[in-house]
Structures are given as C-alpha cells and as structure tokens.
Amino acid sequence: MSETWTFVCATGELLPGEMRTVFDEVTGTPILVVNLDGDLYALEDQCSHEEFELSAGPLDAADATIECVLHGAKFDVRDGRALCAPAYEPVAKFPVKRDDAGIWSRDDRD
C-alpha cells in the first residue's frame, strides 16, 4: 500500500471527458485518472480479464465506461465494475484528490 500521493497533473490539464495515466511512485502500479464532468475517478490501468492497459481504449463519458481494446470488456470508471464479458472481475479503484497544486492519486491496496 502506498501512503504517498502521486502527482497526476495540474487541475486545468485534465478537462471533462479526458483521462491521464500515471504510475504510483511507491508501488509502480499504473493508475488511470478520468474526469467525468468535473468528477474525478481513478482505476488501475489494467483490464481484469487480461493484462492490457485500459487507457488504450475509448472512454464513453456519457455512459461513464471505458472499453478494453483487446477483447471488448467494458468497465464503469466510477467504481471499476466489470460490465460485460469477457471480464467478470472489477478493476481496482483508487482514491483521487484535487488541491491547489493539482490532481493526485495513489494505490491504497493492502
């Protein structure tokens, strides 16, 4: 578990409908941060079906989903839920915060 927050970007650099990937400074975990109409969400940037980065796939901001381009699995970016086969397990959801310095996230798993 990382107690160190990883800087993602300045607040103005992640506009609604955009996403950004960073690597947790302690664990090295890839973290995908998504801005949905001003609300920020962070997930592990790895499909739970097969090890492939979710950030390579399309984000549907209207449905709050991201699709893995490898096999078409879809996930809810708000909570990491798998929405269709071939993925059945969720992806990890991480905390994300915004302050005067920017947007931050971290891998908080034990």
Question: Residue 53: is it exposed, middle or buried by C-beta count within 10 angstroms (0-12/13-18/19+)?
Answer: middle
Number of domains the chain is built from: 1
Tokens of 88: 């059945």
- Angstrom distance (rounded) from CA 9 to CA 22: 9
Which domain does 26 fall in, by range? Answer: 6-105
- 110 in a domain, yes or no? no
CATH number, domain of 60, equals 2.102.10.10
Output the pLDDT for position 3.
Answer: 84
Helix, coil or strand: residue 102: strand
Reported as a single tens digit per residue, the pLDDT across 17-64 is 999 999 999 999 999 999 999 999 999 999 999 989 999 999 999 999
pLDDT digits (tens, 9 = 90+) for 67-94: 999 999 999 999 999 999 999 999 999 9
Tell which residue, 14, 8, 12, 15, has the closest CA to residue 45: 8
> Measured between alpha carbons, how far is 27 from 15 in angstroms, rounded to an integer?
27
Say if 1 falls within a structural domain: no
